[in-house]
Amino acid sequence: MKKRVIIDTDPGLDDALAILFALGCGRFEVLGLTTVGGNIGLDRTTLNAGGLLAVMERGDIPVIRGSDVPLTREQQDIIAIVHGADGLKGITLPEPLAPASDGASAWIASTLAVAEPGSIDILALGPLTNIAHLVTEHPEVVGLIGEIIVMGGTLNEPGNSGPNSEFNFATDPEAVSVVLGSGAKVTVVPLDVTRKVRAQLDYVEALPDTPHGTLAREVLGQYMQDGRQSRALHDPCVMLLALEPGIFRLEKLALDVDLGEPPDAGRLLLDKRGSLVNVALCVDAERALALLRTGFV
């Protein structure tokens, strides 16, 4: 059976790779893409999500706009160095095949409400604002979620937003706190793991000449445009863990999140009073990359 998922996303170069893999590997039933402001603003993340679906000729999958601002704090200045002002460093996608709708958290709630309990997972690739709205505005469906798999945070690796904080979690720390404490099954995939799964140039060049494989090569080429010989594949790790958790070593940890001011906002804290969640701590990077390749055939 295919794994039924909702992808909450802010595409984004590595989001694009994750979405293309999910649509191309044949092992997911993607029910919808819900968009959030993160790597870039909401209008652009929504347009990019629709464009990626168009590449895969999947106009049947809805795109639903969510939140453009964090729960309680001001939006961070968006830095376009990595992803470019359009999120894809100038890569042109086709026009969406269908218009996006509004109300991501309400749409997720209604989708969960009519599904078999535990049959739908949420794969969260960006800031957790939409999922926090779901938890606070529709608490009756939280117990119906199979699992929320989140790319975010760091434990022992240096941060990419502050010295000890990761971008997704630093963008909306209050949302992280809500989701971790929601009572849902939550698995966190931090920088400690995602930085171990790296695409080298030879890996990129060997991706197949399918429409989405060709686009993946272009995306990774832009990702490496700063002269790097490899790039960490952060968001695709969420998809890989959803399919093959045995590739990763998971441990239950009690976590809290720093709700202070930058640069420590969003920092993960080991705290026995925190919420008990699954955390990916190690990964077999070779197996992860081999699995990822299968999604572009």
DSSP assignment of 31-79 equals EEEEE-SSSS-HHHHHHHHHHHHHHTT-TTS-EEE--SS-SSSPPPPPP
234 is catalytic: yes
What is the distance between the alpha carbons of residues 110 and 134, in angstroms, rounded to a whole number?
10
Q: Which of 83, 133, 212, 234 is catalytic?
A: 234
What is the distance between the alpha carbons of residues 213 and 208, in angstroms, rounded to a whole number?
5
Q: How far is CA 110 from CA 80, 103, 113, 115, in A?
A: 34, 11, 5, 9
Question: Which DSSP symbol is given to 162?
Answer: B
- Tokens for 76, please give them: 């961070």
State the angle between helix axes of 13-24 and 236-243 in degrees (0 to 180), rounded to the nearest 10.
Answer: 30
- Tokens for 61, please give them: 């999958």
User: Annotated active-site positions, please?
Assistant: 234
